[in-house]
Amino acid sequence: MPLLQMKHICKSFSGVYANEDINLTVEKGEIHALLGENGAGKTTLMNILFGLYRADSGEIFWKDQLANFTSPKEAIAAGVGMVQQHFSLVNKMTVLDNVILNLKGNAFVLNRAAARARLVELAEKYGLQVNPDALICELSVGEQQRVEILKALYRNVELLILDEPTGVLTPQETTQFFDVLRNLKNEGYGIIIITHRMSEIMAISDRVTILRDGKQVADLVTAETNPGELSAYMIGRELNESYNIEETPKAENMLVMKHVSNDHKHHGRHKIEAIDLVIRKGEILGIAGVEGNGQKELAEVITGIQKKKSGQIILDGQDMAGKTIRERYEAGISYISEDRLSDSLITGMNIIDNLLLRDYKKLPFAKHSIVNRSAMRKNAKEKMQQYQVRASGKSGVDTQVRLLSGGNQQKLIIARELTDSAKLIIASQPTRGLDIGATEFVRQQLINQRNAGKAVMLISADLEEIMALSDRIAVLFGGKIVGVLSREEATVQKIGLLMGGISEEEEK
Ligand SMILES: Nc1ncnc2c1ncn2[C@@H]1O[C@H](COP(=O)(O)OP(=O)(O)OP(=O)(O)O)[C@@H](O)[C@H]1O
Ligand SMILES: [Mg+2]
């Protein structure tokens, strides 16, 4: 008896299919991967299973019983848990309180000590280490994800849906996370995992279902396929793995940071200390490092979101001291934030307005404070086309951003931030959550910016991405730059050691 069978599932939004006749079977102890381009319908299918959406037609069988869940509460009670693409934890509460949230009346909650003990036991059993008393806002994304999984396990689920769980993890965290998944598999849990990374699918899954434009194009046994076949099914073409990186003169400095430190006494903030960095015009500087070593802080002191405590930041000869976020943006600092939903988009607003969040005061959109809607609309249409931002249905540029798929939201931020007036582009995890075609596109856009004489700071947990794009690579560890390597000197080995806080001398 399979754990789950979804049969002939259909769902459309404004007359366009997001899921068209999808079949999915998951056995006990099976890890089933769901693959497809941004907007292919993966999250929609899982939302239907989890009771967040109603299918237009089709049936779901849970342990051979007809079960179309009408709410997540019902799904969880039956044994289906989901960790969503965007976490739903309460920031100002502790880990334990988040885990037992909404379980009032349950015997475990009445006794906090027992609840705590059970949480700790689950955490240990599956290798999901996390401090029960820490506040969520103090945790790294990797740790927050562990809390989400613990929350589901605490509720005795038997099937766990994981929507792009590794997008936010460092390579090391991903390895640990896969160990957790293998433990769960061995205990008989069923797992559905959405990921864009072929290597992960090959490493962890038993079967793969591939969606394309809402349709199911394949259901394969992982051991009988390969990454090339998977990507051919997914996008119908082979990928271009090399980028057009031109020789550019790199004499002039675009960004100079002298001995910059932040004020890290804030809740949940990491420190950066005495940062000395230069990015030249026409250069991509990669920032490698395990997440939580000051990457976000580095980006935020440059953009002005965080105040620096000491030091100097100079952009194209202009001292940024005392300048606001907006003034810095106007001076040419663009920021693609890793935390797209909270920092960069207003999800209740439509595409047009989100594209203009930064520029609404500028001509041709506003003249003497009269907003020019048709110019705004035209701009949005062009950007959507250029960056292949896909919205289903007929609403087009009027679509609310919350209705876009995760990857399409990310493309929208990139479309907005790569403006002509940018001089320095700080791109933090720019391809996280993007499918392989979109990833390739965005990387080439960053290179084009560089080729056009701009400076790019590329912050990425993906070492392959850093190595493929950067002219020079700086490694951040414990809030300090522990090494800067040229493209020629850089090897995975060298960078890996520096990322772990080991300098070359120590290695010798
Ligand atoms: N509530 C909704 N209203 C209207 N359209 C929606 C809604 N939810 C999803 N869609 C649309 O359905 C399509 C499929 O979206 P879905 O989120 O399932 O994609 P996905 O495969 O998860 O993509 P990604 O890899 O980018 O996360 C998209 O075109 C999206 O805009
Ligand atoms: Mg999705």
Query: What CA–CA distance (Å, rounded) separates 121 from 100?
Result: 15
Q: What is the pLDDT of residues 93-104, one digit of tens each?
A: 999 999 988 776
Nearest CA to ligand 1 atom 16: 41
Query: What CA–CA distance (Å, rounded) separates 279 from 285?
Result: 6
Angle 406-417/436-451 helices, nearest 10 degrees? 10
What is the pairing mode between strands 283-288 and 455-459? parallel
Q: Which pLDDT score is estimated for 361?
A: 57
Q: Is 328 in the pocket of ligand 1 (CB under 6 A)?
A: no
Above 70 in pLDDT, residue 363?
Answer: no
Q: Is 41 in the pocket of ligand 1 (CB under 6 A)?
A: yes
Nearest CA to ligand 1 atom 20: 39
pTM of the model: 0.81
Above 90 in pLDDT, residue 464?
Answer: no
Above 80 in pLDDT, residue 110?
Answer: no
Query: What CA–CA distance (Å, rounded) separates 277 from 474?
Result: 9
Question: What mean pLDDT is predicted for residues 284-304?
Answer: 91
Query: What CA–CA distance (Å, rounded) separates 225 from 137?
Result: 41
Q: Name the least confident of 250-254, 400-404, 498-502.
A: 498-502
* Residue in 134, 477, 120 with CA at minimum distance from that of residue 293: 477
Nearest CA to ligand 1 atom 12: 18
Q: Which pLDDT score is estimated for 497?
A: 81
**Ligand 1 mutation target, pool 13, 351, 399, most atoms within 8 A of CB:** 13
Are the beta carbons of 445 and 438 closer than 8 angstroms? no
State the ligand closest to the CA atom of 52: 1
Tokens of 51: 């009771």
Please list, in sequence order, all residues whose beta carbon lies within 8 angstroms of the beta carbon of residue 100, skipping any fewer than 6 positions away: 106, 108, 109, 115, 154
Are the beta carbons of 456 and 284 closer than 8 angstroms? yes
**Ligand 1 mutation target, pool 44, 193, 389, 400, most atoms within 8 A of CB:** 44
AA identity, residue 317:
G
Q: Is 437 in the pocket of ligand 1 (CB under 6 A)?
A: no
Residue 27 CA, ligand 1 centroid: distance in Å: 26
Above 90 in pLDDT, residue 187?
Answer: yes
Above 60 in pLDDT, residue 364?
Answer: no
* Residue in 485, 465, 467 with CA at minimum distance from that of residue 475: 485
* Residue in 294, 300, 303, 351 with CA at minimum distance from that of residue 326: 303
State the ligand closest to the CA atom of 390: 1
Q: Any idea what the Cα angle at residue 70 is, between residues 65 and 71, rounded to 5°? A: 115
Residue 429 CA, ligand 2 centroid: distance in Å: 17
Nearest CA to ligand 1 atom 24: 38
Q: Name the least confident of 312-316, 417-421, 441-445.
A: 417-421
Above 80 in pLDDT, residue 248?
Answer: no
* Residue in 475, 287, 497 with CA at minimum distance from that of residue 506: 497
The minimum-distance atom of ligand 1 relative to the CA of 392 is: 29
* 364 upstream amide cis, omega within 30 of 0: yes
Average pLDDT, the chain: 87
Query: What CA–CA distance (Å, rounded) separates 124 from 420?
Result: 51
| Sheet with 283-288, edge to edge strand ranges | 333-336, 424-428, 455-459, 283-288, 472-477, 480-486
Angle 373-386/406-417 helices, nearest 10 degrees? 120
Please list, in sequence order, all residues whose beta carbon lies within 8 angstroms of the beta carbon of residue 295, skipping any fewer than 6 positions away: 287, 289, 428, 459, 476
Q: Is 404 in the pocket of ligand 1 (CB under 6 A)?
A: yes
pLDDT winner (highest mean) among 42-46, 232-236, 344-348: 42-46
Above 90 in pLDDT, residue 463?
Answer: no
Please list, in sequence order, all residues whose beta carbon lies within 8 angstroms of the beta carbon of residue 144, skipping any fewer than 6 positions away: 87, 89, 136
Q: Any idea what the Cα angle at residue 338 is, between residues 19 and 208, rounded to 5°? A: 35
Q: Name the least confident of 10-24, 145-159, 275-289, 366-380.
A: 366-380
Q: Which pLDDT score is estimated for 476?
A: 92
Above 60 in pLDDT, residue 223?
Answer: yes
Q: Name the least confident of 60-74, 334-348, 466-480.
A: 334-348
* Residue in 286, 301, 257, 255 with CA at minimum distance from that of residue 424: 255
Nearest CA to ligand 1 atom 6: 403
Question: What is the share, in percent, of the chain residues with pLDDT greater than 70?
Answer: 91
Question: What mean pLDDT is predicted for residues 48-72?
Answer: 95
Residue 407 CA, ligand 2 centroid: distance in Å: 7
Q: Name the least confident of 165-174, 281-290, 367-376.
A: 367-376
Tokens of 261: 């430190």
Tokens of 98: 């988040």
Question: What mean pLDDT is predicted for residues 53-64?
Answer: 96
Q: Is 408 in the pocket of ligand 1 (CB under 6 A)?
A: yes
State the ligand closest to the CA atom of 211: 1
Question: What mean pLDDT is predicted for residues 329-349?
Answer: 83
Query: What CA–CA distance (Å, rounded) separates 41 from 36?
Result: 8
| 448/366: higher pLDDT | 448
Q: Is 39 in the pocket of ligand 1 (CB under 6 A)?
A: yes
The minimum-distance atom of ligand 1 relative to the CA of 53 is: 1
| 395/89: higher pLDDT | 89
List domains and CATH numbers for the chain.
Answer: 2-235 (3.40.50.300), 253-343+421-500 (3.40.50.300)
Query: What CA–CA distance (Å, rounded) separates 338 from 323?
Result: 23
Using CA atoms, how far residue 357 sits from 124, 334, 351, 370, 390, in Å, is 45, 13, 10, 16, 19
Are the beta carbons of 33 and 203 closer than 8 angstroms? no
The minimum-distance atom of ligand 1 relative to the CA of 196 is: 25
Q: Name the least confident of 205-209, 323-327, 415-419.
A: 415-419
* Residue in 84, 91, 160 with CA at minimum distance from that of residue 122: 160
Q: Is 391 in the pocket of ligand 1 (CB under 6 A)?
A: yes
Q: Is 195 in the pocket of ligand 1 (CB under 6 A)?
A: no
Question: What mean pLDDT is predicted for residues 215-244?
Answer: 83
| 485/437: higher pLDDT | 485
Q: Could you count the other beta carbons within 10 Å of the beta carbon of residue 369? A: 6
Above 80 in pLDDT, residue 500?
Answer: no
Tokens of 19: 């899921």
Residue 33 CA, ligand 2 centroid: distance in Å: 13
Q: Is 52 in the pocket of ligand 1 (CB under 6 A)?
A: no
Q: Is 405 in the pocket of ligand 1 (CB under 6 A)?
A: yes
What is the pairing mode between strands 4-13 and 16-26? antiparallel
| 3-class secondary structure, 424 | strand
Query: What CA–CA distance (Å, rounded) separates 439 from 476?
Result: 24
Query: What CA–CA distance (Å, rounded) separates 301 from 339?
Result: 16
DSSP assigned state of 403? G
Query: What CA–CA distance (Å, rounded) separates 121 from 361?
Result: 55
Residue 20 CA, ligand 1 centroid: distance in Å: 13
Above 90 in pLDDT, residue 406?
Answer: no
Q: Is 407 in the pocket of ligand 1 (CB under 6 A)?
A: yes
Question: For residues 333-359, b (16+ Cβ closer than 10 Å) or e, as one string?
Answer: bbbbbbebbebbbeeeebbbbbbbebb
